[in-house]
Structure 1
Amino acid sequence: MTDTVIVVAGAIVRDGSLLAAQRAEPAQMRGRWELPGGKVDPGETDEAALVRECREELGADVRPLARIGTEAPFPQRVGAPPAVLRVWLCEVLDGEPAALEHLALRWLGPEAIDGLDWLPADRPFLGEIRRHLNGG
């Protein structure tokens, strides 16, 4: 049996806005938007993986505050193990996020979230993130 790959992403919020990151690669995802993050390594907690990934991708330190929703499955790819996405509400502790591995970053108010071409795995979390940005 193949183990499920756990991927974590940060709904990084500041002053009522959400940080969105535009994918640079792979080619089939280039230009689409996502919440920054990555795979959880063996023996690593979700929170530690998210802190590590944001430091690598954004050059900033974040603090995970709370899990958002449940987990969402990634579309199954031939020959790849199943994978799920877990999203955490986060705040920036240190540094200004920069697009070190992305094409661009954008801070979005709740009204602008639906205006981007999000990756499918991130979409199930956007409603709850919007509610959080609106104070609920």
Structure 2
Amino acid sequence: MSELLVADGERPREGGVDRPITEVAVGVLIDDAQGCFLLTTRPPGKVYAGYWEFPGGKLEAGETVAQALRRELQEEIGVTIGQAHPWHQKLVDYPHALVRLHFCKVYDWSGELQMHEGQEFAWQTLPVTVEPVLPGTVPVLEWLAQEAGQAAGQP
């Protein structure tokens, strides 16, 4: 289990990690040819609306992370993904929910991006130029930066 990220920078809420955990599949769509990754905004009317994040959604009963990710990305952004490569997990204590994010890298998908929930999208490189960024997204940007540093031969 990874360490707990408290989304608002304060101490964990009462009940802490004893609250029910919402399992969420998250897709880090990477376009290696262009050297960028996809971020989308939280849809209008949802918690943290307008914040930038990697797309995905809650696992339904009986779903694996890969199954949930395929379903969510088809429903939300209109693409059909190939293989989902499990990458990292992060437990995030948001004011509204305790969420375990299952991040998967995705290099292969088909279909044109269609924002079915009224969200925006942006292909980004590091450092990102969009804001605000959802707290649960920040560790992913750090992991991508670490990987880029290692790939470039930096410590």
Offset of residue 44 of structure 1: 0.4
2:100 maps to a residue whose letter is V
Which residues in structure 2 correspond to 1:42-53 (within 5 Å)? Answer: 42-53=61-72
Which residues in structure 2 correspond to 1:28-107 (within 5 Å)? Answer: 28-77=47-96, 82-107=98-123
* Equivalent position of 1:121 in the other structure: 136
Cα deviations by residue, 1:108-131 (Å, 9 ceiling, x for unpaired): 1223x2643111112111111244
8 Å Cα contact 1:21-1:102 kept in structure 2: no
Instruction: Return closer, same or farther for 1:73/1:28 CA change in 2, 3 Å cut-off.
Output: closer
Which structure has the bigger radius of gyration? 2
* Equivalent position of 2:11 in the other structure: none
Once superposed, which parts of structure 1, at least 4 consecutive aligned residues long, lie more than 4 Å away? 131-135
Total equivalences in the alignment: 132
2:139 maps to a residue whose letter is P
Structure 2 unaligned spans of 5+: 1-17
What TM-score do you get using the length of structure 2 for normalisation? 0.72
Cα deviations by residue, 1:50-100 (Å, 9 ceiling, x for unpaired): 0110000011111344222232324142xx5x3211111112421122222
2:87 maps to a residue whose letter is I
Out of 36-45 and 62-71, give the one that drifted further. 62-71
- Please report the RMSD computed on the Cα atoms of aligned residues, expressed in angstroms: 2.4
Higher strand share: 1
